[in-house]
Homo-oligomer: A and B are copies of this chain.
Amino acid sequence: MIAVDWGTSSFRAYRLNAAGVVLDTRSSPRGILTVADGGFAAVLREEVGAWLEAERLMLLSGMIGSRQGWHEAPYVPCPAGEPEIRAALVRLDFDWPGEVWLASGLSCRAHDVPDVMRGEEVQILGALDVLDDEDGLVCLPGTHSKWVRVRGRRIVGFETHMTGEAFAVFRQHSILGRLMPPSGQEADPEDAAFAAGLARARTAGGLLHHLFGARSLGLMGDLPAAALPAYLSGLLIGHELAATAAIAGPVHLIGSEALTRRYARALELSGRAAKPLAPDLAAAGLHLLSQGL
């Protein structure tokens, strides 16, 4: 089968054998935002065309199922596990002897406020065997970090934190960026300034006040310009961790190696246990969903 994780800014495809072993992979920066409406089938054929002759089943997950993607798939409400997510798969038209299915995202609601995800739920399915023993808490750091509670092989609820996007907009579009060096000239984000930002997030004052420190520390010479991005990153991740501190237990991490390492360090500095999970979980989750189709 072919498994495709098609997000906002990237495209990743896997060819899997019947046991779910990855035989081949492709990845490209052709996220959905780079594809004009109506162009998704053509891009898909360009990316995985070499595999189409031999395969007869393809599953897709991620923002490709959003309003800005190929087809808007309605969210499945939590709690939801493998059966609910499989039952909500949407069949797509694609000129091919095989079948193409699209995974819906998930929604939940807490304090009368809804929350949504698209794609992360499939990665969680791919990690269920690991999460099975211990009812688990999973963090998927990124532009919109997801904190997901899993119980009895079902996603029971989750929270989105705009940590990565907040970092980007404050660095690129606020006064905080004025003192910072160009991208690529910043200090190692795991350095002392990152730890200082994390520690600051544990004090009183609130994020909106702490953010201004990423300017005044530079202005008054307390931190060199090259360290300010790492300090800002520490502040934001620190506030994300503080907001999720009430959820006990080890935090399973799913994400890129760099982000996973940064969050693991932040969790450990906050006295919490971090358990990084394997990469390519989207392929494992889509393979699981394909069983019984």
Residues of A within 8 A of B (CB): 107, 111-116, 144-145, 159-163, 165-166, 169-170, 172-175, 200, 203-209, 211-213, 216-217, 219-220, 222, 236, 239-240, 242-244, 246
**Cα–Cα, bound, A115→B218 (Å):** 11
Closest beta carbon of chain B to A30's beta carbon, Å:
20
Contact A161 B219 (CB under 8 A): no
Query: Chain B residues near A175 (CB, 8 Å)?
Result: 144, 165
Which residue of B is nearest A243, CB measured?
B206
Min CB distance A81 to B, Å, is 22
Knowing that A114-B219, A206-B242 are A-B contacts, what are 4 other residue pairs whose CB atoms are under 8 Å apart, sorted by A's residue number? Answer: A112-B222, A116-B219, A159-B205, A162-B174
**Does the CB pair A220–B114 fall under 8 Å?**
yes
A200 to B111, Cβ gap below 8 A? yes
Chain B residues, CB < 8 A from A112: 222
Q: Most chain-B CB neighbours within 10 Å: which of A160, A162, A211, A246?
A: A162
Number of copies: 2
Q: Could you say which of B144, B174, B208, B216 contacts A239, with CB atoms under 8 Å apart?
A: B208
Can you name the residue of chain B whose Cβ is closest to the Cβ of A212? B160
A289 to B206, CA, bound (A): 34
Find chain B residues with CB under 8 A from A165 CB: 174-175
Contacts of A173 in B (CB 8 A): 169, 172-173
CB-nearest residue of chain B relative to A116?
Answer: B216
Least Cβ–Cβ distance between A191 and chain B, in angstroms: 17
Q: A115–B208 contact, CB under 8 A?
A: no
Task: For the complex formed, measure the closest distance between the CB of A233 and the CB atoms of chain B, giving whole angstroms.
Answer: 13
Indicate if the CB atoms of B169 and A212 lie closer than 8 Å: no
Could you show 30 A-B contacts with beta carbons less than 8 Å apart?
A: A107-B220, A111-B200, A111-B203, A113-B200, A113-B213, A113-B217, A113-B222, A114-B216, A114-B219, A116-B219, A159-B205, A159-B209, A161-B212, A162-B211, A162-B212, A165-B174, A166-B170, A166-B174, A166-B211, A169-B169, A169-B170, A169-B174, A172-B173, A206-B239, A206-B242, A206-B243, A207-B208, A207-B239, A207-B243, A208-B239
Pairwise interchain contact A216-B115, C-beta atoms closer than 8 A: yes
8 Å CB contact of A161 from B160, B174, B209: B209
Residue of B whose beta carbon sits closest to that of A75 = B220
Residues in B whose Cβ lies below 8 Å from that of A107: 220
- Please report the C-alpha to C-alpha distance between residue A166 and residue B236 in the assembled complex, in whole angstroms: 13
Known contacts being A169-B169, A169-B173, is A206 close to B161, with CB within 8 Å? yes
- What distance in Å separates the Cβ of A246 from its nearest Cβ neighbour in chain B? 7
Contacting pair A212 B172 (CB below 8 A) = no
Contact B243 A205 (CB under 8 A): yes
Tell me the bound Cα distance from A244 to B144 in angstroms.
Answer: 27
Q: Sort A-B residue pairs by CB-CB distance and give the 6 closest, nearest first.
A: A206-B243, A161-B208, A160-B212, A114-B220, A173-B173, A113-B213
